[in-house]
Amino acid sequence: MCNNCKSEEIYKDIIDEDIDISLLFPVIEKYGKVKGSLINILQATQDIYGYLPLQALNYIADNTENKRSVIYGVATFYTQFRLKPIGKYLILQCHGTACHVNGSKEVSKAICEELNIEPGQTTEDGLFTLEDVSCLGCCSLAPVIMINGEAYGNLTPSEAVKVIRNIRKEDIA
């Protein structure tokens, strides 16, 4: 908790759960002494845990020259960083200009309805996390979504739903 204002406000975005902190040791070993590498540390942390757990952030603060406030500031400034765990499949919905004029809104609506979540949320079964991104750089295939690094282009609302149902089917199989 913040010692000045006793505010709980900051913690509402952060999940505090037990993690294996030893996974972070090599990251601190590699970047701890390199000045200006906070973003690299956070990227490596997110690669390990899938998000930025509170314990990990505190550990980074205690073992590098970065204050907790600075770390929280950086972690919330960049869209890449997440303070909550994500599902097994991360769906990035492109909302770039080309996707926008080619109907990304309708595609997004269909996906939200299929998964029954809003962008930024994870499905209850922990399978899918949905996020909006500004541009994936595959504009000629608009509208595009990317699922765990693989891009799906030229989508219609019904095709997008099909893609998701297929993944769900394969996951069960």
Partner 1 sequence: MKVLVGLGSCGIAAGGKKVLQSITDSIEKNNLDITIEPTGCVGMCFYEPLIDIIDGDKKYTYGHVNAKIAEQIVESHLINGQPLDEYIIYTNEKPDAYVKNQLKVALENCGIINPEKIEDYINVGGYKALEKVLKSMTPEEVIEDIKISGLRGRGGAGFPTWFKWDAARKSPGNEKYVVCNADEGDPGAFMDRSVIEGDPHKLIEGMIICGYAMGASHGVVYCRAEYPLAIERLNLAMEQAIEKNYLGENILGTGFNFDLRIKMGAGAFVCGEETALIESLEGKRGMPRLKPPFPAQSGYWRKPTNINNVETLANVSWIISHGPEKFAEIGKDKSKGTKVFALSGKIKNGGLAEIPMGMTLREIIYDIGGGIKENKKFKAVQLGGPSGGCLPESLLDTPVTYEDLNKTGAIVGSGGMVVMDETTCIVDVTKFFLNFTCNESCGKCTYCRVGTKRMLQILEKITAGNGTMEDLDELEELALSVKDGSLCGLGQTAPNPILTSLKYFRDEYIAHIVDKRCPAKKCTALLTYSINKDKCTGCTLCSRKCPVNAINGTLKNPHEINQELCIKCGNCHSVCRFDAVEII
Q: Where along the sequence are the contacts to partner 1 (CB under 8 A)?
A: 35-40, 42-43, 70, 73-74, 77-81, 95-102, 106, 133-142, 144, 149-153, 157
**Residue whose token pair is 């595009």:** 144
Q: What is the DSSP letter of 83?
A: S
Nearer to partner 1, 54 or 147 (CB): 147
Nearer to partner 1, 125 or 166 (CB): 166
CA dist 91 to 72, 78, 128, 138, Å? 25, 18, 7, 15
Nearer to partner 1, 20 or 131 (CB): 131
Closest separation in Å from C-beta 18 to partner 1: 26
- What token pair was written down for 168? 């769900």
Q: Starting from the edge strand earliest in sequence, which strands make up the sheet with 150-152, in order?
A: 128-133, 89-94, 145-147, 150-152
Closest separation in Å from C-beta 43 to partner 1: 6
Closest separation in Å from C-beta 72 to partner 1: 10
